[in-house]
Amino acid sequence: MSNTNQVYPVIWQEDRVVLIDQTRLPAEYTVVEISRYEDMAEAIVTMIVRGAPAIGVAAAYGVYLGAREIQTEDRSEFLNQLEKIAEILRSTRPTAVNLFWAISRMLNTARQTLGPVDYLKQVLLEMAQTIQAEDLQTCKDIGDRGLEVLPRTPEKLRILTHCNAGALATAGYGTALGVVRSAWSAGRLERVYADETRPRLQGAKLTAWECVHEGIPVTLITDNMAAHCMNQGLIDAVVVGADRIAANGDAANKIGTYSLAIVAKAHKIPFFVAAPLSTIDFQLTDGSLIPIEERDPSEVYQVGETRLTPVGVEFYNPAFDVTPAEYITAIVTEYGAVAPSELQQFQTKQAV
């Protein structure tokens, strides 16, 4: 965190990665130092680091940390062991495609780089740092592109967001909250309405924390208040992030996003998905093919150490849902905002 209040959830520091422990926010600001790829995998699983772009950055550093541990000078053996490390990192979160994109980019870099193994390791560190720097710039570009397509009236907007797609979920600045930040900087934002986002409360804990941290006016609502707020004329636009977007524009995001899109359409309120191009999975024709992570039921039946439900109840805890493209006004990428049906024009721009 800098003096300008900018938040960076993943930082390379000397010989290790420093992560903001997002499981402890907002009550406690602490960091976790990661020096081994196994620890990075655990940090991703336990959501110490979360948000698709941030997971991608963390995984890229995880590949480097694993590469650093490989004790061989044989190139083929090095690449074989690196693939095993990559597979462990891939298994951490199945829905966030940025994870797989970043790992693939790291592996391709290793395969395409000539020279001794020590040189390959150095190049991998440089690529992880490049992925991080690119994501930060990408988020700023998304913020600017999003600002261009927000409603022209009223002059100052009230924007509803779901989950956390802010600086904490990226290399910094954010995707959905990047649009919010750009609107705030341009004097076009009146207030953020943040869904609490059950069951892990990322909106209540993280989005609200980021807004307060930067002095952006924020009102927290429970997830089931969104339709009422729209009906009362409190919401001018909805902006959310995404963990994976299919080629047809169907978008997977935190559970509850789909229902939010439905009520936004019913109230004729524009619904925007903000995400980097790396979040688009052009290999998947539609959202039915997006794998949906299911998490531990304890996230549903207890808060902290307090159990909320009677023993004997069964639970279902999908972490994401898929919003069909027909409910999405536009998808905002670093290259501009387009209708979901127009995503294919960006396929050749996607770095591999």
Residues 115 and 214 in one domain: no
39 is catalytic: no
Among the listed residues 39, 243, 250, 281, the single catalytic one is 243
Q: Is residue 112 part of a domain?
A: yes
Helices (H) and strands (E) in the chain, counts: 11, 16
Among 114, 138, 162, where does a domain finish?
138
261: domain CATH number? Answer: 3.40.50.10470
Residues 25 and 83 in one domain: yes
Which residue type does 151 have? P
61: domain CATH number? Answer: 1.20.120.420
Residues 99 and 164 in one domain: no
Residues 170 and 115 in one domain: no
CA distance 209 to 79: 41
pLDDT of residue 351: 61
Residues 130 and 169 in one domain: no
Residues 93 and 226 in one domain: no
Expressed as residue numbers, the domain containing 337 is 143-349
pLDDT of residue 349: 83
Among 109, 138, 167, where does a domain finish?
138
Residues 189 and 307 in one domain: yes
Tens of pLDDT along the chain (352 residues)? 333 567 999 999 999 999 999 999 999 999 999 999 999 999 999 999 999 999 999 999 999 999 999 999 999 999 999 999 999 999 999 998 999 999 999 999 999 999 999 999 999 999 999 999 999 999 999 999 999 999 999 999 999 999 999 999 999 999 999 999 999 999 999 999 999 999 999 999 999 999 999 999 999 999 999 999 999 999 999 999 999 999 999 999 999 999 999 999 999 999 999 999 999 999 999 999 999 999 999 999 998 889 999 999 999 999 999 999 999 999 999 999 999 999 999 998 876 5
How many independent structural domains does the chain possess? 2
